């Protein structure tokens, strides 16, 4: 089952590992964005791919939440803007302290997950506690 919030999708693979990312109607755009994610991670992580990340969740003025990922030495970037229910589902899925970042393609009756069909995704290890977000 996939959960949606705006343009974001959350689903779970195997042993309930969260897979999160934006959804696109155009497959080429989705593949391009997934490759940009991977290139960005390669650039910032360099050879230190085992570096864990810290997930920080901030409440926005509009009542939604942004997920910030910090790691790879000094970089920090905002990944998503999501609602509270979506955020709770994502946080519950972080029991294994990792998640997969990828893109999804919206088709007529299904969602294509590019990590499954194209191998385009990044496994991010997040062993540190998520900052409190119920403020």
Are the beta carbons of 87 and 79 closer than 8 angstroms? no
Domain coverage including residue 73 = 3-125
Q: What is the pTM of this model?
A: 0.79
Residues 62 and 49: their CA atoms lie apart, in Å, by 35
Q: Tens digits of per-residue pLDDT, 10-59?
A: 899 886 889 988 899 999 999 998 898 788 777 665 545 556 667 777 88
Answer yes or no: is pLDDT of 63 > 70: yes
pLDDT of res. 82: 80
> Would 28 be classed as within a structural domain?
yes
Q: Tens digits of per-residue pLDDT, 81-115?
A: 788 888 888 888 888 888 888 999 998 888 999 99
> Would 82 be classed as within a structural domain?
yes
> Would 104 be classed as within a structural domain?
yes
More confident residue, 40 or 122: 122
Are the beta carbons of 13 and 1 closer than 8 angstroms? no
Whole-angstrom CA distances from 39 to 8, 30, 32, 36, 106 are 20, 14, 10, 5, 23
Q: How many domains does the chain have?
A: 1
Q: Is 46 helix (H, G, I), strand (E, B) or coil?
A: coil
> Would 88 be classed as within a structural domain?
yes
> Would 134 be classed as within a structural domain?
no
Q: How many residues does the chain have?
A: 135
Among all chains, which residue has been given the structure tokens 């977000």?
133
Q: What are phi and psi of 108, to 5 degrees?
A: -55, -55
């Amino acid at each position: 089952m996939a959960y949606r919030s705006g343009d974001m999708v959350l689903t779970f693979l195997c042993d309930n590992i969260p897979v999160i990312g934006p959804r696109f109607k155009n497959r080429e755009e989705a593949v391009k964005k997934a490759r940009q994610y991977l290139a960005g991670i390669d650039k910032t992580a360099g050879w230190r791919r085992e570096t864990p990340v810290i997930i920080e969740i901030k409440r926005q003025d509009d009542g939604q939440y942004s997920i910030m990922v910090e790691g790879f030495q000094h970089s920090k970037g905002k990944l998503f803007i999501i609602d509270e229910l979506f955020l709770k589902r994502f946080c519950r899925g972080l029991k294994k302290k990792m998640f997969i970042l990828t893109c999804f393609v919206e088709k007529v009756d299904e969602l294509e997950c590019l990590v499954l069909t194209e191998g385009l995704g990044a496994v991010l290890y997040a062993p540190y506690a998520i900052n409190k977000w119920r403020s």
